[in-house]
Amino acid sequence: MKAFICTKYGQPEVLQLREVEKPKPKDNEVLIKIYATAVTASDIFIRSSKIPIKYKIPMRLMIGLTKPRKSIIGLVFAGVIESIGKNIKRFKPGDEVYGLTGFRLGAYAEYMCLKETDSKIGCIAFKPKNISYEEATVVAYGGLLAFQYIEKGHIQKGQKVLIYGASGTSGTIAIQIAKHLGAEVTGVCSTSNLELVKNLGADCVIDYTKEDSIPEGSSYDFILDSVGRIKTSKLKKACIKALSPNGKFVSIDDGALKLDSTRLNKIKEFVESGFIKPIVDRIYPFEELVEAHRYVDLGHKKGGVAIKVN
């Protein structure tokens, strides 16, 4: 089968297309034919190893000192179960699935084996029926991030919610969940994404490239920082200052992403009911994965970037 091997940490060119052996499922694994994968913030993080110095050693001890220990990287997948091990209960051949691979990685390949139970090395669920495999990869990653951190806000109807970084993979989904919960939502993004964020339901938008402050008198019950703690600005500080007395600020970098198939099932329900629409910026063919990494490296994708594998 074809797979991209990550030969060392570095620029996108460290990813090289090779012919490797097709895996065989163990008794407790399914074999997935991968139809689509994605280039997420996490894939960039792993490939480039651009990690703040204080996390570099622990992170490298975990994923590999000079190159990723798992040579085939890739965190997100959508595809079809091709065969199953004899202990598999939840899935059968032909099932359409989606999910994340966690520390196991391995989605930059035509086939991959995965356990059916949730763990740090993956979670898998039935794919939403009404979207493509490419869209499913975007909603798996962005949805798991958005749901986990939005839940921390315990949003009530009518509350004022601000999503900082509203145009990225998690931000575009966070806005839609907050609106569905009945919040009055403000989205922070750059000029070219104002329209997108409004169309996703934001009642108010703030352009972080133009504003250092928030509209006079604004206050927020919950702020989700969905671009992460590294990206700070005067505007972000002004937003945090405008939290209401019982308001809560949560960054998407607080704690680790949980690989949870129950959440994937909830995302499936939300997508099939039309409450969440995945935003796919670009779709690249598998052979152009390096080009896709170059594009995502620029840091301004709208929603997510998917890769058509099979």
Tokens, residue 96: 């359409």
Strand ranges, E, within 22-75: 29-38
Among 115, 179, 282, 302, binds ligand NAP (CB under 6 A): 302
Smallest distance, Å, CB 298 to ligand NAP? 9
Please report how close the Cβ of residue 284 comes to ligand NAP at its closest, in angstroms.
16
Assign residue 11 a region (left: φ > 0; alpha: ψ between -120 and 50; beta: otherwise): beta
* CB neighbours of residue 177 within 10 Å: 26
User: Is position 253 an interface residue for ligand NAP (rule: CB under 6 A)?
Assistant: yes
Which 8-state DSSP code applies to residue 118? -
Q: Classify 84 as helix, strand or coil.
A: strand
Q: Select the residue interacting with ligand NAP from 9, 108, 147, 208 (CB under 6 A).
A: 208
DSSP tag of 122: B
257 binds ligand NAP (CB under 6 A): yes
Least CB distance to ligand NAP at residue 48 (A): 12
Question: How many chain residues are in contact with ligand NAP, going by CB under 6 A?
Answer: 29
Determine which residue in the list 28, 190, 218, 310 makes contact with ligand NAP, applying CB under 6 A.
190
One DSSP character per residue, 233-248 reads: -HHHHHHHHTEEEEEE
Binding of residue 159 to ligand NAP (CB under 6 A): no
Buried b or exposed e, range 35-45, using 16+ CB within 10 angstroms: bbbbbbbbbbe
Position 234 contacts ligand NAP (CB under 6 A): no
Residue from 29, 179, 52, 13 nearest 104 by CA: 29
| Choices 17-25, 66-74, 107-115, 247-255 (CB under 6 A): range interacting with ligand NAP | 247-255
**Contact string (CB under 6 A) for ligand NAP, positions 105-134, x = contact:** ------------------------------
d(CA 37, CA 294): 16
Q: Is 3 or 224 the residue whose CB approaches ligand NAP more closely?
A: 224
> For ligand NAP, which is the closer residue by CB, 33 or 104?
104
The reply to whether 75 sits near ligand NAP by the rule CB under 6 A is no
Is position 170 an interface residue for ligand NAP (rule: CB under 6 A)? yes
Question: Which tokens hold the place of 183?
Answer: 């919040």
Give the orientation angle of helix 133-151 with respect to helix 169-180, to 10 degrees: 60
| Residue 42 sits in the site that holds ligand NAP (CB under 6 A) | yes
Read off φ and ψ for residue 111, nearest 5 degrees. Answer: -140, 155
What residue ranges bind ligand NAP (CB under 6 A)? 40-42, 142, 145, 165, 167-171, 189-190, 193, 208, 226-228, 231, 233, 252-253, 255-257, 299-302
